[in-house]
Structure 1
Amino acid sequence: MAQELNQLEDASIVKELQRRLNEKSASLLEMEQMTRRLLSLNEQIRHTETIKSEFISLIKTEFRTPISSLLQESQQLVENIGNTDVVATGSHLHQQLLRIDFHMKNIFAAAELEAGETRNAYVKVRLESLIEDALAILQYVVKQKQLRIESTIDLPEGTLVTDAGKMQLVLMNLLSNACEYSYGGDTIRIRGTVEGDRILVSVEDPGEGIPEEHLEHIFQKFYQYHSGKTRLQKGLGLGLNVARGLVDLLGGSVHCTSAPGGKSTVFTVSLPLKDDREVKDTSDGGNDFMFEAF
């Protein structure tokens, strides 16, 4: 009898020890999982700080270069009034100012999108006019690379009802991206058409293409695919993110298809057809977005 009691006590002790061991193992496993999560979070924080540092560096580079050029050329204008080179210098000065203005538009648009502080002011607008104005901003890279622009627009008059300021910045970013990733002498193609109840606007460049593993990331803020083969300047990494955010606000969508190896990259914006009832009277100043159409 005593032996049986001892055996029961031993079994209870073993069972209790096993229970405590299991608890310790579970605690150790939980601690290990927490450690992994903390390490992952720390890595994310470090990555975010790296991105911020790179962004600040890019801001300095993107603005310092054109500003330095503006200072030098403005000095030349002062010293060479009446010289035949003044017109050419003034033209380049204007293009550099437009470049700065473009970057500022994206910076403030990104901030407004993140804050959710924008509203749409719909107006009837010609897509051709928005394209012309957008290309005027990008003449510095179009001329430098000797690019050709082909535009095929098949939209009946009054079809496009949208927020002109937002849509123009969308086009500026898509065209800027196409220009930067095209080779010298390439042709960029712009198309506009109606399919069902949607307006489709596409921008195609025959540049180097985007590898498939990058396609799912290109609309992320600060993300840049850079092979070094075609780009003249490294941008801020905001353009495509801003374009998608603005298109979303307009009730549309934007997607990209690409074939690496210099075949083509196509960005297509799909917007809903809208009627005259949504057109806003702009006599009060209209668009409250940071940037009006030019």
Structure 2
Amino acid sequence: MKLSNEELINELRDRLLKASSSDDEQKMFQEVKRLGEQLKQSERLKSNFLSNIRNEITNPLSAVLGISDFLMQADEVDMKKLKRNAYLIHNEAFNLEFQMRNIFMAAELEAGMIEPEYGKVNVISTIKDVIASFEYKAKEKNLKVVEVHSDDPIAFTTDVAMFHLMVANIYSNAIEYSLPDQQIEISAELRDNHLLVYIKDMGIGISENDQKKIFERFYQLDYGTTKQHRGQGLGLSVTHAIIELLSGTVEIQSSKGKGSVFTVTLPSVKNDEEIDTQVEGWNEFLFGNDEVF
């Protein structure tokens, strides 16, 4: 006979109580109960995730297919409409690619299949790449994006793919939870052999209780039929796992209605002078320096 999780917990409880009322077995019972609650919560989160991820993947794909089919069927399309449709295709494809990067990274982290591939990165260039890639999202809300640091290069040894995704997730989160016409600040600096990256928004803020949960996998500040924000509750959990893998830390300063500041601190890599790989930014990491066109 197959028992449900709740029935299994009740059965274990009854057996333990019948066997003995000793402190050790009472502690065991409490532990079983706690694990059971965690299991139920995990199942609920996974259910929400599967529902959300279905929309995050199928909606952009449907939009891209629909718009591209319209363009193929049209005898004539004026330049203004063509540019508008190209803009929509780009946005939907970008959203899909960004979500898939998080999904694949989460799967590799979960399986223990990934280790940092260190190279010397131009931090400022990488941050500018992130800002440029999300420019259309910031413009949709008329957000002012301010880089507080100077434009002088900051060379730091880290995994460029992980660093890029980490910054992109926090920055995307800042855009998503900002209100129109607000400002986002981003800065980076080297201090005591550590790299510090700050991303500050003036958006809706995060309650103290939620600050303890937002790095949990699949957790979202809003969900269900009242869900107002895109995403599937994976980006910040991936970010936290990346930071831990790079032996760093992340701190949040926030309160409801007063915005948030995310501070990431990454330590320098021991013997980084032995690492010769130079990486200027995300685009060069992907495509190198060869001219294609």
Alignment TM-score, normalising by the size of structure 1: 0.78
Is contact 1:191–1:201 with CA below 8 Å preserved after alignment? yes
Q: Report Cα offsets for 1:83-105 as digits up to 9, x if no partner.
A: 21112211220121111000000
Q: Report Cα offsets for 1:119-167 as digits up to 9, x if no partner.
A: 2222222223212322343244322212111112248535322211110
Q: Of the candidates 45, 48, 53, which is equivalent to residue 54 of structure 1?
A: 48
Is contact 1:99–1:138 with CA below 8 Å preserved after alignment? no
Shift of 1:111: 1.1
Shift of 1:47: 2.2
Aligned pairs for 1:66-145 within 5 A? 66-80=60-74, 81-84=76-79, 85-145=81-141
The aligned residue for residue 151 of structure 1 is: 147
Aligned pairs for 1:171-190 within 5 A? 171-190=167-186
Q: Return closer, same or farther for 1:41/1:137 CA change in 2, 3 Å cut-off.
A: same
Q: Return closer, same or farther for 1:123/1:186 CA change in 2, 3 Å cut-off.
A: same
- Looking at structure 1, the residues matched to 29 and 162 of structure 2 have their Cα atoms a distance apart, in angstroms, of 45
- Looking at structure 2, the residues matched to 197 and 32 of structure 1 have their Cα atoms a distance apart, in angstroms, of 49
- Looking at structure 2, the residues matched to 161 and 43 of structure 1 have their Cα atoms a distance apart, in angstroms, of 42
Q: CA RMSD in A?
A: 2.8
Q: Report Cα offsets for 1:241-284 as digits up to 9, x if no partner.
A: 111111222222111111222x220111111235652425489x
Q: Secondary structure at the match of 1:105?
A: helix
Q: Secondary structure at the match of 1:160?
A: strand
Q: 1:184 is aligned with what amino acid?
A: P
Greater mean alpha carbon deviation, residues 154-163 or residues 104-113: 154-163
Shift of 1:203: 0.4
Shift of 1:226: 2.9
Pair 1:269 & 2:264 matched: yes
- Looking at structure 1, the residues matched to 38 and 93 of structure 2 have their Cα atoms a distance apart, in angstroms, of 37
Q: 2:78 is aligned with what amino acid?
A: N
The aligned residue for residue 219 of structure 2 is: 223
Shift of 1:58: 0.5
Is contact 2:207–2:255 with CA below 8 Å preserved after alignment? yes
Aligned residues: 259
Q: Of the candidates 197, 201, 204, which is equivalent to residue 193 of structure 2?
A: 197
Larger gyration radius, structure 1 or structure 2: 1
Greater mean alpha carbon deviation, residues 56-65 or residues 139-148: 139-148
Alignment TM-score, normalising by the size of structure 2: 0.78
Shift of 1:43: 3.5
The aligned residue for residue 17 of structure 1 is: none
Q: Return closer, same or farther for 1:175/1:158 CA change in 2, 3 Å cut-off.
A: closer
Pair 1:29 & 2:25 matched: no
Shift of 1:217: 1.6
Q: Report Cα offsets for 1:11-46 as digits up to 9, x if no partner.
A: xxxxxxxxxxxxxx9845368776665554444333
Q: Secondary structure at the match of 2:148?
A: strand
What are structure 1's unaligned runs of at least 5 residues?
A: 1-24, 284-291
